[in-house]
Chain A
Amino acid sequence: MTVTTDPVALNQWVPCAWDGQIPVGGSLDTMIFGQPIHVQRTGEDSYRVAAVDGTTERELPVQVRYTCVFTTLGDTPRPLPEIAEFDEADRRITGCGNVGVNTSPYRLVENFLDMAHFAFIHTDVLGALDQTEVLAYRTEHRKEVDEIWAIDCTFYQPAASKAATGGQLTRYVYRVMSPFSVMLYKNVVTDPSRNDAICVFIQPKRETECLAYMPMAIVDEVSTVGDLIDFQQSIFLQDRVILENQRPALLPLDPTSELPTRADASSIAYRRWLKAMDIRFGILEKQAA
Chain B
Amino acid sequence: MSVARELWTGVALDDQIQAASSNPVILDGQALAVWRGEEGPVRVWEDRCPHRGMRLSFGFVRGETLRCIYHGWTYATDGQCLAIPAHPTLAPPKTICASTYPSETRYGIVWTKLDGGSNGAALPDLGPDEGWEPVRSLFVHAAASPVLEALLNCDLGQQGPVHMVAENAAEVEIGPELRVLVAVHAMDDERTALHAVARGPRAASERAGLARRLERLRDDIERA
| Residues of chain A at the chain B interface (Cβ within 8 Å) | 110, 114-117, 119-121, 132-134, 241-242, 245-248, 252, 258-264
Which chain B residues border A134 with CB–CB below 8 Å?
Answer: 86-87
In the bound complex, do residue A261 and residue B47 qualify as a contact, i.e. CB atoms below 8 Å apart? no
B163: Cβ under 8 A from any A Cβ: no
Question: How many Å lie between the Cα of A20 and that of B158 in the bound state?
Answer: 70
B 44-69 to A, binary, CB cutoff 8 A, 1 in contact else 0: 00011011111100100000000001
Separation of A117 and B69 alpha carbons in the complex (Å)? 9
Smallest distance from the beta carbon of B173 to chain A beta carbons, Å?
43
The smallest beta-carbon distance between A52 and chain B, in angstroms, is 34
Q: How many residues of B contact A (CB 8 A)?
A: 23
**Which one of A115, A120, A258, A262 contacts B69 once the chains associate, using CB atoms below 8 Å?**
A120
With a cutoff of 8 Å between Cβ atoms, the chain A residues found around residue B47 in the complex are 247
Q: Is B116 an interface residue (CB 8 A)?
A: no
Pairwise interchain contact B71-A247, C-beta atoms closer than 8 A? no
Residue pair A121, B85 in contact (C-beta under 8 Å): no
Indicate if the CB atoms of B72 and A132 lie closer than 8 Å.
Answer: yes
CA distance A248 to B53 in the complex (A): 7
B70-A242 in contact (CB<8A): yes
* Known A242-B69, A247-B55; contact A263-B50, beta-carbon cutoff 8 A: no
Q: State the CA gap A119–B70 with chains docked (Å).
A: 9
For A133, the chain B residues whose CB sits under 8 A away are: 85-88
Q: List 20 A-B contacts (CB under 8 A).
A: A116-B86, A117-B71, A119-B72, A120-B69, A120-B72, A121-B70, A132-B72, A132-B88, A133-B86, A133-B87, A245-B54, A245-B58, A246-B52, A246-B55, A247-B53, A258-B50, A261-B51, A261-B84, A261-B86, A264-B52
Contacts of B52 in A (CB 8 A): 110, 246, 258, 264
Interface residues of B in 50-109 (CB under 8 A from A): 50-55, 58, 69-72, 84-88, 90, 92, 95-96
Partner of B95, one of A246, A252, A258, A259: A259
**Contact flags (1/0) for B18-57 with A, using CB distance below 8 Å?**
0000000000000100000000000000011011111100
For the complex of A and B, the 10 pairs showing the least CB-CB separation, nearest first, are: A132-B85, A263-B86, A116-B86, A134-B86, A246-B53, A245-B55, A116-B71, A247-B53, A120-B72, A259-B50
Contacts of A252 in B (CB 8 A): 53
Extra 13 A-B pairs, beta carbons < 8 Å, given A133-B86, A258-B53: A116-B71, A120-B69, A120-B72, A121-B69, A133-B87, A245-B54, A246-B53, A246-B54, A247-B48, A259-B50, A260-B51, A261-B90, A263-B71
Shortest C-beta distance, B24 to chain A (Å), equals 9
